[in-house]
């Protein structure tokens, strides 16, 4: 059985005052059935992990460098993130791909570095609205799966997140049929590449305007093992109902 995962990506949000949201979330979900992950900004990672140690929340980073160390001003290595308390790192998010011109080969190199350091990776993929409207979604996702995921992964260290770019922060959500089609496609491609045992252990997350009002419907879809949540993860009162819906699914 794959344990469900509720992952919150805080993006470039949060200061010391917002650590209280993590404390509130940890208190509210001491008996959670699902795994809860928060990826705060790097400036808060160490303090967040320290505050919530031995609690129900795990922590991740939002990116890492592909090198172990060196002259890379402003960058953070996977080993540094591990040392700061991270157990996961999010890679290939559409905002990184767009804002920093990251390509599949860049995501793959970062994933290799993260895995070598002992981090689990959440590799993101998704299509633009124009690609969806041109019926190219599965071609795009297939290419990102092949190009972004390294060969040396397992069901324990890889999570795949499908985030249609046109749904991120827009309030637009794909239909149940659209989400189902993509998640089933991803599972089938993973089985072809890694074999059934590994592929069936890899968790598949949906991301893109997940809210308390639509979470239960999304989590009822086969091969949806949780969510990668943006804005709704910033406040415990907003994220808690999503976690509860996942626990109930």
Q: List the catalytic residue out of 29, 35, 65, 93.
A: 93
163 classed as catalytic: yes
pLDDT one-digit tens code per residue, 181-205: 999 999 999 999 999 999 999 999 9
Per-residue pLDDT, 54: 86
Which of 213, 204, 221 is CA-nearest to residue 126? 204
- Residue 170's pLDDT is 80
Q: What's the chain's average pLDDT? A: 96
Give the least confident one: 53-57, 185-189, 233-237: 53-57
Tens of pLDDT, residues 62-79? 999 999 999 999 999 999
Range(s) of the domain holding residue 143: 5-248
Phi, psi (deg, nearest 5) at residue 187: -60, -45
d(CA 93, CA 59): 17
Whether the per-residue pLDDT at 173 is higher than 90: the answer is no
Q: How many structural domains comprise the chain?
A: 1
The residue from 29, 35, 163, 183 that is catalytic is 163
Q: Is 93 a catalytic residue?
A: yes
Residue 167 pLDDT grade (very low, low, confident, very high; cuts 50, 70, 90): confident
**Using CA of residue 211, residue 2, residue 205, residue 45, what is the dihedral sign?**
positive
Between CA 98 and CA 216 the distance in angstroms is 30
Structure tokens given for 50: 């320290």
Query: Which SS3 state, helix, strand or coil, does residue 229 take?
Result: strand
Once rounded to an integer, what is the mean pLDDT over residues 138-159?
Answer: 97
Task: Write down the pLDDT at residue 50.
Answer: 94
Pick 155 or 168 by higher pLDDT.
155
Contact 37, 228 (CB under 8 A): no
The reported pLDDT for the residue numbered 1 is: 78
CATH code for the domain of 19 = 3.20.20.70
């Amino acid at each position: 059985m794959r344990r469900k995962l509720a992952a919150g990506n805080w993006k470039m949000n949060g200061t010391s005052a917002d650590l209280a949201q993590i404390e509130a979330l940890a208190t509210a979900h001491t008996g959670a059935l699902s795994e809860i992950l928060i990826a705060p900004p790097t400036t808060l990672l160490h303090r967040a992990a320290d505050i919530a140690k031995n609690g129900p929340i795990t922590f991740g980073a939002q990116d890492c460098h592909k090198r172990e160390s060196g002259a890379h001003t402003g960058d953070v290595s996977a080993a540094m993130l591990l040392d700061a308390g991270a157990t996961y790192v999010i890679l290939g998010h559409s905002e990184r791909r767009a804002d920093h011109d990251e390509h599949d080969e860049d995501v793959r190199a970062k994933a290799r570095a993260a895995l070598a350091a002992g981090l689990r990776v959440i590799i993101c993929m998704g299509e633009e609205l124009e690609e969806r409207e041109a019926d190219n979604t599965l071609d795009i996702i297939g290419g990102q799966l092949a190009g972004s995921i390294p060969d040396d992964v397992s069901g324990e260290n890889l999570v795949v997140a499908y985030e249609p770019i046109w749904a991120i922060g827009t309030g637009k959500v794909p239909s149940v049929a659209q989400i189902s089609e993509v998640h089933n496609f991803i599972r089938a491609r993973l089985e072809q590449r890694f074999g059934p045992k590994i592929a069936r252990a890899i968790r598949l997350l949906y991301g893109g305007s997940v809210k308390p009002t639509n979470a239960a419907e999304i989590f009822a879809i086969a091969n949806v093992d949780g969510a990668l949540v943006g804005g709704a993860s910033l406040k415990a009162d907003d994220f808690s109902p999503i976690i509860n819906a996942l626990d109930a699914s």
